[in-house]
Amino acid sequence: MSCKFPPPATPDERIANEFKHLIPNSAIFALGILLVELCLNNQFEEIRQASGSAASASLLDSYLTALRMLDEVYRQAGDSYGLAAERCLKFSFSGRDLYNNFSFSQFRQQFHDTVVAPVQTTYLMFPDSGTPIEE
């Protein structure tokens, strides 16, 4: 019997693979990062550096930095926006993991109700948010 073995992983790839379970959906995690950036009015790289993180950004480092920033997000934007950002970062949605993807209508509805609607409500509280953008 013969078998092809994959090439050995680099140390960075091994670390990324070890913590991949923390981020089961990279698009939703990226949305969580974006919500943190929008709330704190700063790029995530700058937030990460200001929090004293190492120069190289590992997956785990980014994840932990984002979680550390959640208290400030809650303080500045309120509970509903903070919880929406937290749900995205931690991928904390009810139901079995198998069904927590956008191919299921129940998950799409839950995502709308627990992430999209709270963020939209927060946005609409800002002055001029209902005014159409002129080109």
pLDDT in tens, 59-107: 788 888 899 999 999 999 999 999 999 999 999 999 988 899 999 999 9
110 part of a folded domain: yes
Give CA–CA dist 100/11, Å, rounded.
30
Angle at 124 between CA 35 and CA 112, to 5 degrees: 55
13 part of a folded domain: no
The number of folded domains in the chain is 1
Give CA–CA dist 36/86, Å, rounded.
9
Q: Tell me the pTM.
A: 0.77
107 part of a folded domain: yes
Residue 98 sits in which domain range? 24-124
Give CA–CA dist 109/82, Å, rounded.
19
CA atoms within 13 A on the CB side of 40: 25
Specify the higher pLDDT residue, 57 or 75: 75
129 part of a folded domain: no
3 part of a folded domain: no
